[in-house]
Copies of this chain bind each other. A is one copy, B any other.
């Protein structure tokens, strides 16, 4: 049965205009929408359900590593924001200021949190006295506000949802270990659950977080060859501790500064799912993150027994899977198109002839493969199909990323590649920010990260020719 043309025609082909395709998918899949509040989105049920699954899965993984959740205020007094020099320089230009409470002007204005390092420091300063109080491994799920000039659904909006972990440790080593541990949690989550392969690495000083001594990142490649920073983990050393006076008495009875980390991922991950897995028919959700894993579509549902069989199937499959029946008055073709637009991983078509033959047809969203299965073994088969699909989606994304990753050893080759071949370009770098600046000016590309997995592509910096220090992933980024 043909998909309904009208529905699909609402989505621009991704090869024609990727940005428009993205906006169309966000809209058609009913993930989010614009509001009367400029630069802020409403996240609709289909979008929020994905975020809830991200939260549940990540939160479980966090807690397995000893993370505890807390909640700190959404407002930051200006004097608190200003305590750490680099941090305030990084964030002051993009915060929103509250100046009046009720009918009165405030004595000191406060910003809506763009991130909560300063609040956590203020809190830890009061909480931490002895080595017995350490470590503290806290996280909060909340929204933050950054006054961005240009915005795009999920990728960049003035308000977004995220989690921010903030930890304090007795030693430098422990802080560094936690920073890397959380990066690994993010990387595993992206690969295993979102089916998005990521490059793990360290940001250059130019690209690191305001106030951090080291920022680690996971970088993903979108279908259009642009990079998306998908999660970051920062080691602050004792910089914030010194600015906020967070000291503890160690076992040796010496007063010492703590070492701190922070790490976060945002609703931007939903944008990554769309841009890594989506196609011209709409969203494609990896089974492990999909709010609905299979949509049962009864065919000729007015015929006796068809709907009953569909409900029976739903009840049976619900024990193991997230299942819905589309029993609306729409035509099967329309329902197929809707299931595809919304990215539901599989649909199960079942009509009178299927029932007679004690079978149903499972259709994979990603490959559109149709698999006829006996109703006697449909639970097992559906489980296998979803697992295969999850695996195939990761491998497809990995293959796409790998086939769009290029090496360059001369500047000419570098510029030529980065401007004409969408994807990552790997090239050696001398460590000098001037080269990053020049590359950005010449090509708009930025250093995405110095990957943990290094290769010696050549001995010299691709930009200035001086001796190279690190291999860097470069790319044009969201």
Residues of A within 8 A of B (CB): 33, 35-37, 40-45, 48-49, 51-52, 68-77, 80, 93-103, 110, 112, 119, 122-123, 126, 138, 142-143, 145, 147, 158-159, 161
Contacts and interface: CB of A to CB of B under 8 A. Distances in A.
A94 B99 contact: no
A37 B77 contact: yes
Given A45-B70, A97-B100, 14 more contacts: A35-B72, A42-B70, A42-B71, A43-B71, A45-B69, A48-B70, A51-B71, A71-B143, A75-B159, A94-B102, A97-B98, A97-B101, A98-B112, A142-B143
Contacts of A76: 37
Contact of A159 (B36, B52, B74, B99): B74
Contacts of A143: 71, 74, 142
Contacts of A70: 42-45, 48
A42 B96 contact: no
Contacts of A33: 123, 126
A102 B91 CA distance: 9
Contacts of A119: 35, 37
A71 B52 CA distance: 11
A201 B102 CA distance: 31
B75 A40 contact: yes
A71 B143 CA distance: 10
Contacts of A158: 101
Contacts of A97: 98-101
A131 to B, nearest CB: 13
A147 B101 contact: yes
A94 B101 CA distance: 7
Closest 8 CB pairs of A and B: A40-B73, A45-B68, A102-B147, A101-B147, A97-B100, A43-B71, A37-B73, A99-B99
A71 B161 contact: yes
A70 B33 CA distance: 11
Given A45-B70, A48-B69, A101 B93 contact: no
Contact of A145 (B36, B74, B103, B126): B74
Given A35-B122, A37-B76, A69 B42 contact: no
A240 to B, nearest CB: 15
A150 B93 CA distance: 33
15 contacts: A35-B119, A37-B77, A37-B119, A43-B70, A45-B70, A48-B69, A48-B70, A49-B68, A49-B69, A51-B71, A75-B145, A96-B100, A97-B98, A101-B147, A112-B112
A269 B158 CA distance: 31
A62 to B, nearest CB: 12
A72 B41 CA distance: 7
Contacts of A101: 96-97, 147, 158
Given A96-B98, A102-B95, A73 B112 contact: no
A347 to B, nearest CB: 21
A302 to B, nearest CB: 19
A215 B68 CA distance: 37
B103 A93 contact: yes
A154 to B, nearest CB: 12
A120 to B, nearest CB: 9
Give the one of A37, A119, A122, A158 with max B CB within 10 A.
A37
B138 A45 contact: yes
Contacts of A100: 96-97, 99
B52 A69 contact: yes
A70 B32 CA distance: 9
A42 to B, nearest CB: 5
A71 B48 contact: yes
Contacts of A71: 42-43, 48, 51, 143, 161
Given A93-B103, A100-B96, A73 B159 contact: yes
Nearest to A118: B36
A159 to B, nearest CB: 6
A76 B40 CA distance: 11
Contacts of A35: 72-73, 119, 122-123
Contacts of A145: 74-75
Contacts of A40: 73-75
A41 B142 CA distance: 15
Nearest to A102: B147
Given A101-B147, A143-B142, A147-B102, A41 B73 contact: yes
